[in-house]
């Protein structure tokens, strides 16, 4: 049995679809931060069959968690303080995502103006469809992989 120690302050991302932990790691920018990360991939799960888990020891307020809901709203976010779970955050699709994803349209103004932030708005909440604020190009979740 694998044993990963508890964290004192940070968060645990649970119920991640198997194989998505590394994508989340990069999109949260954890590779650029000085924090301890434990990544458990393809763990057995009664509900999901197989899942990934991320344990991150850092201040949760330093991260933009909006990307998590775009990847999968089923992810559970447990906030840890003093070694105990103090809050469970529910993920909802944000109305706007800024500076997380890049527009793939070569004619978009963001392709020419390098300083312009990439902004996507929620166009269809039921389908989870986002569009570029400038050119209305669709954002495809497959671009995350």
For 96-106, the pLDDT digits (tens) are: 988 878 899 99
| pTM for the structure as a whole | 0.77
What dotted CATH number matches 9-89? 3.30.70.140
Statement: 96-139 belongs to CATH 2.30.30.20? yes
| CA pair distance 35, 95, nearest whole angstrom | 29
What are the strands, taking DSSP E only, across the chain? Answer: 9-17, 36-45, 49-57, 76-81, 84-89, 96-98, 119-124, 129-132, 138-139
Tell which wins on pLDDT, 64 or 117: 117
Contact, 58 vs 21, CB < 8 A?
no
Q: Name the DSSP letter for residue 100.
A: S
For 39-78, the pLDDT digits (tens) are: 989 888 888 889 999 999 988 777 777 788 888 878 889 9
Q: Is the pLDDT of residue 93 over 70?
A: yes
CA distances from 140 to 28, 94, 131 (A): 18, 16, 9
Matching fold, domains 9-89 and 96-139: no
Strands 129-132 and 36-45: unpaired
Sequence spans of domains, the chain: 9-89, 96-139
């Amino acid at each position: 049995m694998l044993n990963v120690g508890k964290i004192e302050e940070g968060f645990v991302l649970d119920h991640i679809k198997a194989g998505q932990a590394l994508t989340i790691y990069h999109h949260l920018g954890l590779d650029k931060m000085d924090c301890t990360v434990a990544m458990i991939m393809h763990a057995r799960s009664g509900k999901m069959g197989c899942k990934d888990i991320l344990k991150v020891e850092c201040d949760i307020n330093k991260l933009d968690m909006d990307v998590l809901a775009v990847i999968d709203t089923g992810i559970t976010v447990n906030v840890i303080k003093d070694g105990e779970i103090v809050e469970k955050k529910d993920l909802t699709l944000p109305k706007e995502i800024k500076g997380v994803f890049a527009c793939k349209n070569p004619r978009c103004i963001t392709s020419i103006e390098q300083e312009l932030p990439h902004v996507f708005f929620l166009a269809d909440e039921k389908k989870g469809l986002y569009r570029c604020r400038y050119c209305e190009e669709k954002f495809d979740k497959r671009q995350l992989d």
